[in-house]
Amino acid sequence: MYLFLSLTLFTAPPDQAPDFAFFETKIRPVLVSKCYNCHSSKLPAPKADFALDTKDALLKGGATGVAIVPGKPGESRLLSALRYADTDLQMPPSGKLPDAVIADFEQWIAAGAPDPRTAPIASAVAAAPQGMSVEEGRKWWAFQPLKVVATPPTRDSRAAKNAIDASILYKLEQQGLSPSPEADPRTLVRRVYVDLVGFKPTYEEIEAFLSDPSPLAYENLVDRLLASPHYGERWGRHWMDVARYGEDNPTGEAANPAYPFAWR
């Protein structure tokens, strides 16, 4: 009984003697082999702005928030990511760690996440600016104010029905080229359908255009197609493709996770 009391009195409390040995043998080797390639403060841009190679960086968290809450495994996103509990956050992406390793991380966090790494977060070295200067950038054509440009003269004024035609024809003539002949009505109606709504017109739609005596038949056709839901579907699809490839993970593989903040 006396020996037990002596050991109790003279053993340092856990908060004064944290179990760094457990971290060094069970936790750090996994971080080094599975995490540092993407999550190191020595990288120019750690993935998700999250570094795991220092204690400060680990506690700070990253773009998705705090990663660990010492003493509270259930509130630690790092443990959730290791367990593959969230389809949008699974780490490491190369494959789920063995259950025994995940249990080690749970035990480590529950013990207060003792971590002997006292080095501060490495500050990124500012990279030398590349490309044009701000002053040169202000001269870029897209940032110039709008202004009225005189219509250039052309040798064949009949081929230029408006200022855009004249500008194109002017450049063609400078290169010794002639414009292609105008499309016949049947070709024209097919082209405008494919261009605006993505599919060819029916026989009835072609005949309706050919039998329209109005001098504004083509303009009316364009207006009608622009007002069609198919016009929005055709051009909205380009954005949907971008959004799908940016955010979705059709394969479901851990090595190809989704990007939940791609919309930003």
184-196 pLDDT, tens digit per residue, is 999 999 999 999 9
Tell me the one-letter amino acid at 241: D
124: confidence class by pLDDT, cuts 50, 70, 90: very low
CA 63 to chain centre: 14
Tokens of 258: 């989704």
Q: What is the pTM of this model?
A: 0.43
Q: Rounded distance, CA 76 to CA 27, Å?
A: 15
Q: What is the pLDDT of residue 81?
A: 86
13-23 pLDDT, tens digit per residue, is 444 456 788 88
Q: What is the pLDDT of residue 122?
A: 54
Q: Rounded distance, CA 200 to CA 181, Å?
A: 22
User: Is residue 109 scored above 60 in pLDDT?
Assistant: yes
Mean pLDDT, to the nearest integer, of 160-174?
90
